[in-house]
Structure 1
C-alpha cells in the first residue's frame, strides 16, 4: 500500500520526491562511505542513488519500505563503483625529507575521514561503527562480504531483506556474513565518552605537544602499540620509537616553521585541521584508548577542509574562523608532509 506522498512523487512531483527521500540522505551517505571509504565517492554515490530512485519510481510498487529500496540502490551503486575501479589508490606523495623506514604499509591508501557534522544522530549510539579503524577494516574485506556485514550487522536488516537488497539468497548472505565476521576483528580500545572532559584533556595535551614539536610529550601520551598513518602515503609507523623517529625527522625538515591546529571532529573522534605556518597541511584524527592516544592518522588532503568547516588559511584572528571563497581545485592541491 502506497502513501499519498509516494503517489505524488510517482506522478512526477519533484518536491514530493525530495520530501520522500530527504530523511534518509544522511544515513545513505554514511552507508556509502562505509562501503567506499572516501567522502567524495560517498557523495557521488548518493547523488547517483537519488537520480536512479527518481527514474525508477514508476517501477517501485511499495512492497518494500522506501528506506530499504533506497539502501538497495545505494549498495548496488557502491558495489558497481568498486568493481569499476572506484577504489584505485591515489598517487602517493613523495616526502620532502629523508623519512625513517616505515614499520609497515597501509592496504587502504584511499581512506578519507568523515565529518561529524554529517553524521546522523543515531551514529553516536554505535560510534565503533563509524570510527576510522572500523571503516578501514571494512575496506579490506571482499566487497560482497562488506555489503553483507554492513547491511545486516550495522543497519540491522534481516537476512531475507538483505538477500533481496543484494539480489542473492539468504544462504549466500549468511555465508558472506560469517566469513566477514571471522575476518573482521573487534576493536579492543575503550575511548573516553564522546565529548567528555577526559577526551578534551587528551586532545588538548596532544595538540599542545604536537605544535610545540615536543616529541617526548607526544610519546608520553601514546599507548605501547600506538601507530601513525598518513593516507594517501602508504607509510605506517608502529610503536613509540618509530613514531618519535618520524616526528623528529619532520620537525628537523620544517626548521622552525610552525604547525597550528584547529579542532574539529571526524568519525566520532577528536580531529584537527593542520596548518604549516598559515597554509593547510592536512587533517589529523586521533583514536583514543583510555587515557592514551592509540592512533594518529594524518590525512594529507587539503581539499577536505571545506567539508569540515575549516578555513583555508590559518589566522589567530576570530574573524578568520569561517571558510570563505570557492572550494580548492583537487588537481591543484600540492602534496604535503
Structure 2
C-alpha cells in the first residue's frame, strides 16, 4: 500500500507496526536486489535484515521524498560493505582457491557461493528504463555473470539496467556522480557475458517448458543415456556450486549423471530463478523414507536443456517449500 503521511509520522515516532506497514511492500524486491548483487540467498537475507534494521534506526531522518529509493540506498550500500569485507564470506574448507570460480577444464564457472532464488519473479518491480524483463533479471546465468563484475559496477548495472533508476538517482543512491555512474555502467555492460540465445526460451510454466522437464525426468529415471544426450544442446554444460567442477557437452554430462545416480529416485518440481527446477529425493537405506538430496535448476533453450546447475546443499530445500524427507510407501 502507498506510504501515507500519517503512517510515516507514526513510524518516525517509534511505531513498529507503522514501520512494517511502510516496509513490507518493498521487502520482496529488496531481497531480490540483495540476491542479485551477492549471488547467495543466505547472504541476501542476512544483509537485508541489517539494512532493514538500519532503516528502522534512521527512519526519523527520512525526508519523505521517495521511500523506495531511500531503502535501495541503504540496501545497496549494505551489500557493498559486505563485499568489501571478504573475510565475512570465508570459502568452504576443501575447495581450491579459484576466486569467482574456475572449472577443472579451465573455463569460467559459477562462483562457489552461488545459490538458487526460490520461485518466479512475477512480483518484482522494474522501472521504465530497465533493459531486462523480470524473468531475465533473476535468471541464474545472469546472476552468476554479475558475480564476475567488480562490486561497484555490479551495483550500477543492477540499479540502472535491472531496476531502471535514472542516472541521477543511481548516483544519489551510491553517493557518487552521474559521470562515475555512466562510466561504471559502460564497463559493466562490456564485462557481463551476453546470453547467446536470450529469446529462445519457452514461456515459463507453458506446456512446451513442462514437456522438456518431463522428458528429462523420465530419461533420468529410466537411465536412458541416448534420450539424455538428445535432450542436451551441443554446447550444454553442468555445474555444481560450490564445487569448481564443470562438464561440457551432451555425452560427458549424460554419462556423469547416470554414473553417479544409479539408484531409484524421486523428483519434485519447483521453480527457481523463474526457471524450472527439481528437488531430488533418494531412498534412505535404513528407513522407509525419501531424503532430499539437492536442487537442480534447468536452463532451457527451445526444446532442449542448455545448462544444468546442481545445488547439493540439503538446507536449501526448505526455501522451496519442500520437506527434508518424504514417506516412502511400502511395496
Superposition TM-score, scaled by structure 2 size: 0.87
1:288 and 1:104 map into 2 onto residues whose CA distance is 24
2:90 and 2:123 map into 1 onto residues whose CA distance is 28
Match of residue 58 from structure 2: 56
Alpha-carbon spacing, 1:51–1:150, altered in 2? closer, same or farther (3 Å): same
Match of residue 187 from structure 2: 179
Deviation, structure 1 residue 242? 2.0
Contact between 1:38 and 1:113, CA under 8 Å: does it hold in 2?
Answer: yes
Match of residue 298 from structure 1: 310
Match of residue 31 from structure 2: 29
Match of residue 328 from structure 1: none
Match of residue 266 from structure 1: 272
Match of residue 297 from structure 2: 285
Contact between 1:227 and 1:238, CA under 8 Å: does it hold in 2?
Answer: yes
1:285 and 1:92 map into 2 onto residues whose CA distance is 24
Contact between 1:131 and 1:269, CA under 8 Å: does it hold in 2?
Answer: yes
Deviation digits for residues 13-46 of structure 1, max 9, x if unmatched? 1111000111000000000000000111111111
Q: Is 148-157 or 208-217 further displaced after alignment?
A: 208-217
Deviation, structure 1 residue 209? 1.1
Match of residue 213 from structure 2: 203
Deviation, structure 1 residue 121? 5.2
Match of residue 74 from structure 1: 75
Contact between 1:274 and 1:284, CA under 8 Å: does it hold in 2?
Answer: yes
Match of residue 134 from structure 1: 142
Deviation, structure 1 residue 151? 0.5
From 148, 151, 156, give the equivalent of 1:143: 151
Match of residue 234 from structure 1: 244
Q: Secondary structure at the match of 2:322?
A: coil
Contact between 1:104 and 1:237, CA under 8 Å: does it hold in 2?
Answer: no
Contact between 2:153 and 2:184, CA under 8 Å: does it hold in 1?
Answer: yes
CA RMSD of aligned residues (A): 2.2
1:293 and 1:266 map into 2 onto residues whose CA distance is 15
Gaps of 5+ in 1: 95-100, 318-337
Deviation digits for residues 187-241 of structure 1, max 9, x if unmatched? 1332100111000000111111122222221111011100000111110111113
2:121 and 2:321 map into 1 onto residues whose CA distance is 11
From 19, 34, 37, give the equivalent of 1:17: 19
Match of residue 162 from structure 2: 154
Contact between 1:90 and 1:110, CA under 8 Å: does it hold in 2?
Answer: no
Deviation, structure 1 residue 290? 0.7
Q: Secondary structure at the match of 1:244?
A: helix
2:316 and 2:85 map into 1 onto residues whose CA distance is 24
Contact between 1:127 and 1:268, CA under 8 Å: does it hold in 2?
Answer: yes
Match of residue 123 from structure 2: 120
1:44 and 1:178 map into 2 onto residues whose CA distance is 30
Gaps of 5+ in 2: 97-102, 127-131, 284-289
Alpha-carbon spacing, 1:305–1:82, altered in 2? closer, same or farther (3 Å): same
Deviation digits for residues 91-138 of structure 1, max 9, x if unmatched? 4579xxxxxx95346250110000016762558952111110000000
Match of residue 129 from structure 2: none
1:145 and 1:265 map into 2 onto residues whose CA distance is 29
Superposition TM-score, scaled by structure 1 size: 0.85
1:266 and 1:279 map into 2 onto residues whose CA distance is 20
Contact between 2:29 and 2:125, CA under 8 Å: does it hold in 1?
Answer: no
2:306 and 2:156 map into 1 onto residues whose CA distance is 29
1:168 and 1:71 map into 2 onto residues whose CA distance is 15
Aligned residues: 306
